[in-house]
Each structure stands twice: as C-alpha cells, then as structure tokens.
Amino acid sequence: MRRLIEGALADLARDGALPSAALGATFSVDRPKRAELGDVATNAPLALQKLAQMPPRAVAELLAERLRGAEGVREVAVAGAGFLNVRVTPAVFHAVLGDVLAAGVAYGRAPAATGERILLEFVSANPTGPLLISHGRGAILGDAVGTLLEAVGHRVTREYYVNDFGNQVRLLGESVRAMLEGRPAPAGGYGADYVRELAAWLGANAKEAVADPDPMALARAAVTRMLDGVPGSTVLPGIKTTLASLGVRHDAWFSEESLHRWGRVSAALIELSQRGYLEEREGALFFKSESEGDDKDRVVRKSDGLYTYFASDIAYHADKIARGYDRLIDVLGADHHGYQARVRGALRALGSKDEKLEVLLYQLVNLLRDGKPYKMGKRLGNLITIEEVVDEIDEAARRVGAGADALRYFYLSRRSDTTIDLDLEVAKKTSLDNPVFYLQYGYARACSMLARADEVFHVGTAALRLTPALAARLDQDDELAIVATLGRFPALLAEAAALREPHRIVFYAQELSQAFQSYFTRRKDDPVLPQEKHTREPGWEARWDWDKTRARLLWIEAIRSAYGAALRLLGITALPRMVRLDDAGRDGAAKATEDDEEAGT
C-alpha cells in the first residue's frame, strides 16, 4: 500500500502536479484507529503540505484521484484536515491470507543471513552465585532480541562473558577454602548456603584443585561448578541449566581469564599506549578516556600492578571487533550505563568505529515483598533465584515450562527502559492469573478447533487450498479485520527488531488473541463447525455450507500460523492444548504450593 502511494506521488511529481521536493517527506501508512473509516489511512497530504506548498486537502484530492482505479483500491476518501482513507478490494485481503498460509510459522521472517553479523552479549552475570530473579530480565530480553534479529535476517552470535578473573572469583575460591577448613568467610567473601554446598562438592570431587597451592585453581573449579551446577543440587543448579530452563540460549561462553592468559589485555594496552592514550599517574596506569568523551580518565592498571576489570573489557571488545562483526550489542542493566562512554572511547582510541557498539540498556527490577522493598544480599542468605520462582509456578500450573513462560511474559511485556516492580508475594499469588496463560489459551483454542475439524468432520486444513472462490467466502468485517492484523505482522516484526523492542510482539499477540477469541464468542449463532443441533437432523450434511467452513478453517489456520510465529519469537510455549484447571483445581494448586512452602521454611 505504501508503495502504491509512493508510486502515485511520483506520478504526480512527474506530471508536474506536485513539486518534486514533496517526495522527500515522510508520512505514515497505517490502519485508521476507527475501523469504519477504512482499511488503510495515510497522512501523506498533511506531511507533504509544507514541501508541496499546497493546502493539504488539495494534495489529498490529487492523490485520491491518482489512487482511484489503482489495483487493489476499492474506495478513496479525503477526510478531516487532509487524511486519506482507502478501502481495499477483497483480493488484497485474500493475498495476505495466501502469504500467511504459504509461510506458516515462518511468516514475517526475512530470508536467513541477509543482514548484519552481530555479536550479542547478554547476562554475563558474575559466576560467583546462582542467577537471581533480577538477572532474568537481561537474560530474557537479550534472548528475545537475539531471536528478533535472527528473524529479520541478521546472523547473531549470542555470547556470555564469563568474569572468571579478578577479585570476586578469587574471593569465591577463598570462601570455599575457608568453608572446607571450618573458618569464617574472608572479608567481602561469600557465605550463603550455596557456598556450603559448593565446598562440600568440591571437597569430595575436586581433590586436585583443593590440594593445589595456587588459590586460583580452586577458584576456577568453583566457577566451573557455578556454571555447570552441582549434580543433583537444587541450590546450585548451575547458571547454564537455569538459562536453559528459561529457554535462553548462548552460542559462546567467553572467558575473561583467557584474555589475560593469551596476553590480549597487555596487547590491547600496548596498542593504546602507542597511540598515546595511556598515562601513568601516582603509580597507576590511566586510559585517557576523557579525551574520548568520558567524564574522567579510567584506571586500567592499579598501583598494585593488577589490571582492572575495565582493562579486560577493552581487550574483550577489541577481540569482538577483530572477530569481524558488523555490530556489537551489549545488553546491560542500568547500573552499568556508565560503561558505555569508556568502552566507546576505548574502541575509538583503538581506531575502530565506535558506532559498531550498541548498548541496549534495561532498567532494573525492584524487588518488593508485600509492597515493601526487599533487599537481597549474598550475605543475608535471602537470595531469590530464578530457579525457585520458576519451579513454584511450574508446580502451581502443573506443567514444567509454565514458570519460564510466565517469567518470559512478565519481562518481555514491558519496555526495557522502565523500571519494573516485582512483588514476590503478588507474583506468587497471581501466577495463575498471569496474562501469559491468556495468550496460550487463545492459541490452544485455535488448535483445538482445527483438530476437531480434522478428526470429527475430516476437513484437515493441510489438504485444503485457498482458491479465489473459497477466499471470497470470507466476507465479514471482523474476519477481514483479523486478516488485516495478520498483514501487519511482517512490518511489525521488522520494526520490533530495528528498535530492539520485543514487547511489541507481546502486545501484537495479545491483540490477535483478543480479536480471535472475541470473534468466536460473538458468533455462537454462526459456528464454523457443525454443532450437535445440526448433526442430529437427518440429511444435514447435504445442507451444510462446507465451502464456508473450509474458508474459515483456512482463515483459522492462518491466524494460528501468525500467532505461533509471534509466540515462537517470544520463546513462549505454543501449546496445542491446555489442561483445564477449574477454579477448585486452581485454588487447590495454589494452596498446595503455599503449604509446601511453609513446610519447607
């Protein structure tokens, strides 16, 4: 439709009816807010008025004249100050339906590997403790952004940067050692339950690391356990396991320690030094990031001779560039936003284009309990892990995966730049009222109708073809409105990917589900499939309008495809059917969970 309008404008310019300067204007081509106005609306006349130096209504009239008679256009109306409302022919809707049916769950996707090579770094939580509920946001956001980018044709490497070097890791090792020897944890060390479990396992299974005089040997063994988990432990399932249970995937695990081991850190610093970006002051080595737009210069080597975290970060980003990516995306929590300037500065100082780096910042998750701030601390021993929240919801919903779906929905349904309040009590109490189940229910309902059509009436959509005659049987406004919604999906997906905003997909899926479910409830008197009251009359089969049924089944199949595509992008399970939890069952399940918890405390 946009092409049609652009074409019409170009024609007008060529004919001299419009100044060619007017072609530079940007305008919208959308569905009007009120469906009765038309199928497609554009504000082009309003947007063009300045450049065209004509009143908008005059532009609108010219454009309307040009569009009338164009293929697919049924009716054009000039409205308001200069809007153009267009009604399209049924053929346009049918073409959309054909596209969706042909593409299936791949609907809306661009051909693979047609875009940029992107390195997407996310989570990268310190491997000194289990993943907490607050880490979930970065994990799920990063994963969903990765999926979106892939869907529009980019080649994405998802990477977890493992901070297995430096103070924190050393302290983890020392805390384990202290635990093994019955001493209290060192200052700033770790003393939570999971360290006890970690120490017990390492003491029994990693004798070489325990015996090694190098304290880093034990620290490294501990990090490996934090990532892989302690077999059979619920306290320490392992970061990789937790991410897998959320459906979060990484392609690569990049070790910070390896940068040091292979001399990458010193090499990067030498490079900076040769370019005149390093300066020694008071015994420490500074990177002159202030000259590259940072607030102040940053230390890369402390006066005690040890490199800072930032030093490895320079080397890490230099390495990413060297690996040949077109774009580096770092998904970071808002508490790291200060990093951008210095890392950007370092890339620029190393002679790379800093525009390659894109920082996707997400605001933090505020934990509340009964409306009051809930402070978590590794030393307080009150850590809320992803694992435990997910398990609890799984149990309440009586399905493994329900917790991951609920958490993914929770995090993905909000824009990344707003702070989230997560009330643990409310989250538990309302886990079964989570809107994610609404999304899944709509999908299950579509599947269930298709299955019933196939099994009971032997009308499988796989064997059906959308012929023009069949397509013409879809003529109701609400049916065509949903087709129009399906038609929007590819553009929406492209936009969501470009803006790195998965929440747009959530709201789209919600809208689709709502329109779909509303349709069936409102049309109880005009069912797609024959009902009992029809089938008990002899000879009903000859009287039933099977073509209408076939047309609508294909329509449902198309909805199911787009719907499934959206859920897949979000990483939310598309369930072909959902086990009904009646009110008693839901209460019972919720109650059982509470009881269990009390028993466990």
Site for RNA in 412-431 (CB under 7 A): 413-415, 417-421
Would you count residue 537 as binding RNA (CB under 7 A)? no
For RNA, the closer of residues 47 and 226 by Cβ is 47
Chosen residue from 14, 281, 379, 591 binding RNA by CB under 7 A? 281
Rounded to a whole number of angstroms, the minimum distance from the CB of residue 403 to RNA is 13
Chosen residue from 11, 15, 28, 207 binding RNA by CB under 7 A? 28
Would you count residue 449 as binding RNA (CB under 7 A)? yes
Residue written as token pair 């072909």: 576
Site for RNA in 346-365 (CB under 7 A): 361, 363-364
SS3 43: coil
* CB-based burial, 376-414: b 16+ in 10 Å, e otherwise: eebeeeebbbbbbbbbbbbbbbebebbbbbbbbbbbbbb
Would you count residue 476 as binding RNA (CB under 7 A)? no
Would you count residue 577 as binding RNA (CB under 7 A)? yes
Site for RNA in 544-573 (CB under 7 A): none
Rounded to a whole number of angstroms, the minimum distance from the CB of residue 500 to RNA is 12
For RNA, the closer of residues 351 and 576 by Cβ is 576
Question: Rounded to whole angstroms, how far apart are CA atoms 481 and 468?
Answer: 18
Would you count residue 308 as binding RNA (CB under 7 A)? yes
Number of Cβ within 10 Å of residue 361's Cβ equals 16
Which residues are CB-neighbours of 15 under 8 A, at least 6 positions away? Answer: none
Binding mask 130-169 for RNA (x = CB under 7 A): ---------------------------------x-xxxxx
For RNA, the closer of residues 475 and 495 by Cβ is 495
Would you count residue 507 as binding RNA (CB under 7 A)? yes
**Strand order, beta sheet including 420-423:** 372-373, 365-369, 420-423
Chosen residue from 20, 266, 510, 573 binding RNA by CB under 7 A? 510
Would you count residue 504 as binding RNA (CB under 7 A)? yes
Site for RNA in 320-339 (CB under 7 A): 334-339
Number of residues lying near RNA (CB under 7 A)? 99
Site for RNA in 367-406 (CB under 7 A): 397
Rounded to a whole number of angstroms, the minimum distance from the CB of residue 51 to RNA is 11
Rounded to a whole number of angstroms, the minimum distance from the CB of residue 325 to RNA is 23
Amino acid identity of residue 74, one-letter, is R
Would you count residue 589 as binding RNA (CB under 7 A)? no
For RNA, the closer of residues 163 and 593 by Cβ is 163
Would you count residue 306 as binding RNA (CB under 7 A)? yes
Number of Cβ within 10 Å of residue 515's Cβ equals 15
Do 383 and 376 contact (CB within 8 A), yes or no?
A: yes
Kind and range of the H or E run holding 144: helix 136-151
Site for RNA in 183-222 (CB under 7 A): none
Would you count residue 47 as binding RNA (CB under 7 A)? yes
Q: Is 125 exposed, middle or buried (0-12, 13-18, 19+ CB in 10 A)?
A: buried
Number of Cβ within 10 Å of residue 239's Cβ equals 27
Specify the pairing of strand 40-42 against strand 29-30.
antiparallel
Question: Rounded to whole angstroms, how far apart are CA atoms 566 and 568?
Answer: 5
Would you count residue 81 as binding RNA (CB under 7 A)? yes
Do 160 and 179 contact (CB within 8 A), yes or no?
A: no
For RNA, the closer of residues 158 and 298 by Cβ is 298
Q: Which stretch binds RNA (CB under 7 A): 208-216, 244-252, 479-487, 505-513?
A: 505-513
> What tokens appear for 541 in the block?
């089969």
Phi-psi region of 249 (alpha: psi -120 to 50; beta: other; left: phi over 0): beta
For RNA, the closer of residues 134 and 242 by Cβ is 134
> What tokens appear for 120 in the block?
């997407």
Phi-psi region of 282 (alpha: psi -120 to 50; beta: other; left: phi over 0): left
Amino acid identity of residue 283, one-letter, is G
Rounded to a whole number of angstroms, the minimum distance from the CB of residue 440 to RNA is 8
Chosen residue from 10, 23, 37, 70 binding RNA by CB under 7 A? 37
Would you count residue 83 as binding RNA (CB under 7 A)? yes
User: Taken in order 286, 290, 295, 296, is the CA torsion positive or negative?
Assistant: positive
Listed in order, strand segments (DSSP E) in 310-451 are 327-333, 357-362, 365-369, 372-373, 420-423
Question: Rounded to whole angstroms, how far apart are CA atoms 383 and 190?
Answer: 12
Rounded to a whole number of angstroms, the minimum distance from the CB of residue 102 to RNA is 25
Question: Rounded to whole angstroms, how far apart are CA atoms 443 and 560?
Answer: 7
Would you count residue 523 as binding RNA (CB under 7 A)? yes
Residue written as token pair 């880490």: 135
Kind and range of the H or E run holding 325: none
Q: Which stretch binds RNA (CB under 7 A): 110-118, 270-278, 344-352, 526-534?
A: 526-534
Site for RNA in 101-130 (CB under 7 A): 126
359 strand-pairing partners = 330
Would you count residue 473 as binding RNA (CB under 7 A)? no
Chosen residue from 372, 532, 536, 601 binding RNA by CB under 7 A? 532
For RNA, the closer of residues 53 and 234 by Cβ is 53
For RNA, the closer of residues 135 and 503 by Cβ is 503
Q: Which stretch binds RNA (CB under 7 A): 108-116, 148-156, 237-245, 282-290?
A: 282-290
Rounded to a whole number of angstroms, the minimum distance from the CB of residue 205 to RNA is 26
Would you count residue 245 as binding RNA (CB under 7 A)? no
For RNA, the closer of residues 25 and 200 by Cβ is 25
For RNA, the closer of residues 274 and 521 by Cβ is 521
Kind and range of the H or E run holding 120: strand 117-121
